[in-house]
Each structure stands twice: as C-alpha cells, then as structure tokens.
C-alpha cells in the first residue's frame, strides 16, 4: 500500500491519497482544502479515484469535497451520524470553525457508514471503526497494518472536544476500546500532524496515561 499525504488549508489538515502498486485505483481520505493541489497529486500518480472517505464532517476535512467529487466522480462515504454535518454546513461547520472563509457547499454522501462496515477499492480493504467523541460520527479506517485516525488520535495528542457534539469522556473511551487494542506496530495516520504508532501512543500519549 502507498500512502501520499497532502497538507492542506489553514488548519494544516492531512489529506491522504491511498493506492497500491498493482493497479491505479485509489482512495482519497479527508479532502479538506486546496482541491487543485490534491487533484494535481492524483494526476501525478496516475490514479483513478474510486472512493472519497470522510473521517468526520468538519470543514477542515470536507472543504474540497465538492471539487474533488466533481473531478473524479468517486463515491463519497461518511458515517451516518455525521452526514447531517454536510447538509447543516452553513451553520455549525462554517461559523464555528472558519468564520469569514468561503467554501463550496459539499455534496450529499453516496454511502452512509456504520461501525464494522467494509470499504473496498479493488486491492484496498479497510474496516470502519466508529470512534465518537470529537464528533458523534467520527470514524477511523483500519486495514493493511495502518489506521487512519482522523481527529480521534494524534501524535501524542487527541482531538478537541469543545465543539458542538464533542464529548471528552466518549473520545477517551473510543480511543481505549477501539484503537489501543490494536497491535503496537500499527501505523497511525492522523488528521493533523505527523504519523505515529499505536505502541508509541500507548506508552507516551499524556492523555492516555493513568
């Protein structure tokens, strides 16, 4: 599996372009901004994007969704509990996170996800882990020895819980029961910041001690 990271937008969000060497099909995870840069990377890699997955509905992870969807024709998937964030975007998402910035209204999702669902694009296979706490419908994607953690777990940090729908205790419970049970060598690709491993977070993340 090949993971290419494009850092986008004012919140330095990680957009991931995931593919395999054996074919040219790919997945985009969290197209938060700078659609032109994301699409240029896709073109440089010669990929055919089959699926766009949103780890949650905040604007810094969906801001470029409309343009990416129109350019690729890919299916859009988000957890059912965050799907309403897309339709309610002109309220919570825009006013709370990025006042004064303008983004195109994102399209409706093609697929509503639930815990345990499978996401497949030819040779790419991931399991949906529902990890609420940052938002009610936050998910992580597990497969191929890695987990894309969105804004649930960061390198020695965790997602914020002070926005509407956030719940600190629920977030910690999600991390402990869904992520900390994974093997230590599982690579974590977070929604912001550098990659890490489950083992490193288990032993050193200050929010998970005690």
The better pLDDT of the pair 22, 12 is held by 12
Residue 206 has pLDDT above 90, yes or no: yes
For the question of whether the overall pTM of this predicted structure is more than 0.75, the answer is: yes
Q: How far apart are the first and last CA of the chain?
A: 35
Residue 60 has pLDDT above 50, yes or no: yes
Average of per-residue pLDDT across 56-64: 92
CA distance 137 to 54: 10
pLDDT at position 90, please?
47
| Mean of per-residue pLDDT scores for the chain | 92
Residue 207 has pLDDT above 80, yes or no: yes
Residue 123 has pLDDT above 90, yes or no: no
Of the candidates 89, 27, 32, 26, the one whose C-alpha atom is nearest the C-alpha of residue 65 is 32
Residue 94 has pLDDT above 70, yes or no: no
The CATH superfamily assigned to 2-208 is: Ribonuclease Z/Hydroxyacylglutathione hydrolase-like (3.60.15.10)
CA distance 33 to 8: 5
pLDDT at position 72, please?
97
Average of per-residue pLDDT across 126-149: 97
């Amino acid at each position: 599996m090949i993971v290419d990271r494009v850092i986008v937008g004012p919140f330095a969000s990680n957009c991931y372009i995931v593919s395999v060497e054996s074919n040219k099909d790919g997945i985009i995870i969290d197209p938060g901004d700078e659609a032109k840069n994301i699409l240029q990377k896709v073109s440089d890699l010669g990929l055919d994007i089959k699926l766009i997955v949103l780890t949650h509905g905040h604007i810094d992870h969906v801001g470029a969704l409309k343009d990416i969807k129109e350019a690729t024709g890919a299916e859009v998937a988000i957890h059912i509990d965050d799907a309403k964030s897309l339709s309610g975007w002109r309220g919570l998402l825009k006013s709370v996170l990025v006042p004064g910035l303008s983004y195109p209204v994102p399209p409706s999702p093609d697929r509503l996800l639930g815990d345990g669902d499978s996401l497949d694009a030819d040779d790419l296979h991931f399991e949906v882990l529902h990890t609420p706490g940052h938002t009610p419908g936050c998910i992580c994607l597990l497969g191929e020895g890695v987990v894309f953690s969105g804004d649930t777990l960061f390198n020695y940090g965790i997602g914020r819980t002070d926005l509407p729908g956030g719940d600190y205790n629920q977030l910690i419970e999600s991390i402990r029961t869904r992520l900390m049970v994974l093997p230590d060598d599982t690579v974590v690709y977070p929604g912001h910041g550098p990659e890490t491993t489950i083992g490193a977070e288990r032993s050193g993340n200050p929010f998970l001690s005690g």
